[in-house]
Amino acid sequence: MKRILITGGAGFIGSHLCERLINEGHDVICLDNYFTGSKDNIRHLLDNHNFELVRHDITSPYFAEVDEVYNLACPASPPYYQYNPIKTMKTSIYGAMNTLGLAKRIRAKILQASTSEVYGDPEVHPQPESYWGHVNPIGIRSCYDEGKRAAETLFMDYYRQNGVRIKIIRIFNTYGPRMNPNDGRVVSNFIMQALRNEDITIYGTGLQTRSFQYIDDLIEGMTRMMATGDDFIGPVNIGNPGEFTMLELAQKVIDLTNSRSSIVHMPLPGDDPQQRKPDISLAMEKLNGWQPQIQLEEGLKKTITYFENHL
């Protein structure tokens, strides 16, 4: 049994990770400031004696004796991370420094939830970890993209300078139950619109692509990464290489929900990446043959059921 700190533990991904680690018998501290997360996501764990909930903002230092830290605290949806871009940067950078400082002091392993956004609007396709990216440093997505890039830099420097036991994963678009239905990301938007028979809002032509990973596959990859030896630090892509246009996604959601929704086009937000697809060969090699098990249609069905129950 390990003592594990999860920052951002009341969010979409964090809540699934809390659940997984509690089910494995670990002692979990879930830290969150509830900016985009919610107590509802982890309410079912509150009676468990191995689960502790802490309201804290990771831009301030936090002290605890733990064996492992998963650093997930950061809004992930564009409308939310752009709502207060300076705060988003602070969360990424001070959050990384505070959790790395903690890991350094107590010799804990620490995993950073980085993102495919470090590749920006990529000119290499699919994206391997060796690609340095094509990121606008001054655009509306920069607070998130550059914040996450700076966090990776801090992780690498704490590793090189202080020997901190780091792990970096680059997560590609992930979806599933407990996504906030109003958080503005494409999968939740399309499902909610389809279930309500409202117009499906495609930004731009809808020919831009994304690769969508179901939450269970991410949690498996994440925990396998944490379990690797200290010689493997990443970064490693964790995503599903299936690539879809937003038009294809909209059509799938309409079909699976038997919706009467029509597709409407809206302006494309600034710096919206045109294509994205992970090269997962490194993950397959280093994480005991890990690869996604749940393809888009199956994952969408599970997510639609969740949203139906929440409407």
CB 208, min distance to ligand UDP, A: 4
Closer CB to ligand NAD, 259 or 277, in the complex: 277
Residue 236 binds which entry of ligand NAD, ligand UDP, none, with Cβ cut-offs from 5 to 8 Å by kind?
none
Handedness of CA 235, 114, 128, 240 (dihedral sign): positive
Q: Which residue from 98, 99, 114, 189 is in contact with ligand UDP, where contact means CB under 6 A?
A: 189
Triad 263, 264, 270: Cα angle to 5°:
125
In 98-184, DSSP assigns E strands to 109-115, 165-171, 174-175
Q: Which of 159, 71, 158, 152 is nearest to 118 (CA)?
A: 152
Handedness of CA 111, 112, 113, 116 (dihedral sign): negative
Residue 201 binds which entry of ligand NAD, ligand UDP, none, with Cβ cut-offs from 5 to 8 Å by kind?
ligand UDP
Contact call for residues 147 and 300 (beta carbons, < 8 A): no
User: Is residue 171 near ligand NAD by the rule CB under 6 A?
Assistant: yes
Please list every residue from 63 through 82 that binds ligand UDP, using CB under 6 A.
78
Closer CB to ligand UDP, 101 or 241, in the complex: 241
Please list every residue from 86 through 145 that binds ligand UDP, using CB under 6 A.
none
d(CA 274, CA 66): 41
Residue 50 binds which entry of ligand NAD, ligand UDP, none, with Cβ cut-offs from 5 to 8 Å by kind?
none
Q: Which residue from 185, 233, 257, 280 is in contact with ligand UDP, where contact means CB under 6 A?
A: 185
CB 177, min distance to ligand UDP, A: 16
216 φ/ψ sector (left φ>0, alpha ψ -120 to 50, else beta): alpha
d(CA 76, CA 10): 13
Residue 84 C-alpha from the chain's centroid? 19
Residue 4 binds which entry of ligand UDP, ligand NAD, none, with Cβ cut-offs from 5 to 8 Å by kind?
none
Q: Which residue from 173, 188, 189, 259 is in contact with ligand NAD, where contact means CB under 6 A?
A: 173
Written as one letter, the residue type at 307 is F
d(CA 141, CA 116): 13
User: Is residue 199 near ligand UDP by the rule CB under 6 A?
Assistant: no
Closer CB to ligand UDP, 201 or 291, in the complex: 201
The yes-or-no answer on residue 62 being catalytic is no
Q: Which of 217, 224, 228, 75 is nearest to 165 (CA)?
A: 228
Q: Which residue from 4, 5, 6, 13 is in contact with ligand NAD, where contact means CB under 6 A?
A: 13
**Cβ neighbours of residue 138 closer than 8 Å, sequence gap 6 or more:** none
User: Is residue 222 near ligand NAD by the rule CB under 6 A?
Assistant: no
User: Is residue 186 near ligand UDP by the rule CB under 6 A?
Assistant: yes
Q: Which residue from 246, 253, 254, 280 is in contact with ligand UDP, where contact means CB under 6 A?
A: 246
**Cβ neighbours of residue 102 closer than 8 Å, sequence gap 6 or more:** 5, 61, 62, 63, 64, 69, 108, 110
Q: Which of 144, 158, 175, 214 is catalytic?
A: 144
Q: Which residues bind ligand NAD (CB under 6 A)?
A: 7-8, 10-14, 32-37, 57-59, 72-76, 91, 113, 115, 171, 173-174
Q: Which residues bind ligand UDP (CB under 6 A)?
A: 78, 173, 185-186, 189, 201-203, 208, 210, 246, 269, 272
- The residues annotated with a catalytic role in the active site are 144
